[in-house]
Amino acid sequence: MLNPLIDEIFELLLTKRVWKIHTLASALTQQGVLNTLDPNIEQDLFKKNFLIMNALFELQTQLLPKHLVISTLHIELVEPSNNVSTQSALQHFYLDWKNYNTSPAEITALLDSFWQQFKPIVKTPTVNIEPIRIAWQLPANFRVGVLQKRWRQLALQHHPDKQSGNACKFKQIKEEYEQLKLAAQNEDVSE
């Protein structure tokens, strides 16, 4: 199957040095060559993305000796280098037209997999919250609701916009609140 966006994307690549997938999609939509492809919003977005990525990978093979760098946030035509890229799994996926009609469930799984690579690894520092709990006058087995109520009281008391407020103290209690809330969630101390 011949991708109708190949020539359009090539012409866009010649007008600006670096592109991103969403800026290419926007430019193609403004030109009227990338319209609604599916009534389902997620599938429409997927199909548009598929067509753009497919066209880019097709162009990548056609443009030798120039090299087309393709990633989600950086698309650029560059001069050839000694670094010859091999076919990636992403390239293989987008060059296979069977993937154009991916089901909504498969799209959800692909998106979940994609976003997992950007999920931060949360390292919870071990903080002794007992002195904070005592200073906040919270019971030993406090619930999140009790914590939130106490946070609001302290926030109102120390807010920098209040005449008696203190920006440093407000920042401190905000940090303490986050530590207490995290500890409460980790310990399943909730309502």
More confident residue, 15 or 77: 15
Containing structural domain, residue 53: 6-116
More confident residue, 85 or 137: 137
Mean pLDDT, rounded, for 10-26: 93
Task: Give the pLDDT of residue 166.
Answer: 87
Residues contacting residue 23 through CB under 8 Å, at least 6 positions apart: none
Q: Which of 116, 146, 166 is the last residue of a domain?
A: 116
More confident residue, 119 or 31: 31
For residues 96 and 157, membership in a common domain is answered with no
For residues 161 and 103, membership in a common domain is answered with no
pLDDT, tens digit, 9 for 90 and up, residues 42-58: 899 999 999 999 999 99
Find residue 18's DSSP bridge partners.
76
For residues 108 and 137, membership in a common domain is answered with no
Ranges 75-84, 106-115, 154-163, most confident:
154-163
- Domain membership of residue 98 (yes or no) is yes
- pLDDT-derived band at 190 (thresholds 50, 70, 90) equals very low
Q: Tell me the CATH number at 179.
A: 1.10.287.110
For residues 104 and 163, membership in a common domain is answered with no
For residues 19 and 64, membership in a common domain is answered with yes
pLDDT, tens digit, 9 for 90 and up, residues 149-188: 999 999 888 888 888 888 889 899 999 998 888 888 766 4
Of 176, 112, 121, the residue nearest 150 (C-alpha): 176
- Domain membership of residue 77 (yes or no) is yes
For residues 29 and 99, membership in a common domain is answered with yes
For residues 143 and 176, membership in a common domain is answered with yes
Statement: residue 115 has pLDDT above 80: no
- Quote the number of domains for the chain: 2
Residues contacting residue 38 through CB under 8 Å, at least 6 positions apart: 44, 46, 47
Other C-beta atoms lying within 10 Å of the C-beta of residue 152: 11
Find residue 177's DSSP bridge partners.
none
What tokens does 175 get? 């940090």
Statement: residue 82 has pLDDT above 60: no
More confident residue, 8 or 82: 8
For residues 73 and 13, membership in a common domain is answered with yes
Q: Which of 88, 116, 144 is the last residue of a domain?
A: 116
- Domain membership of residue 174 (yes or no) is yes
Mean pLDDT, rounded, for 76-94: 72
Mean pLDDT, rounded, for 97-113: 88
Q: Which of 55, 82, 116 is the last residue of a domain?
A: 116
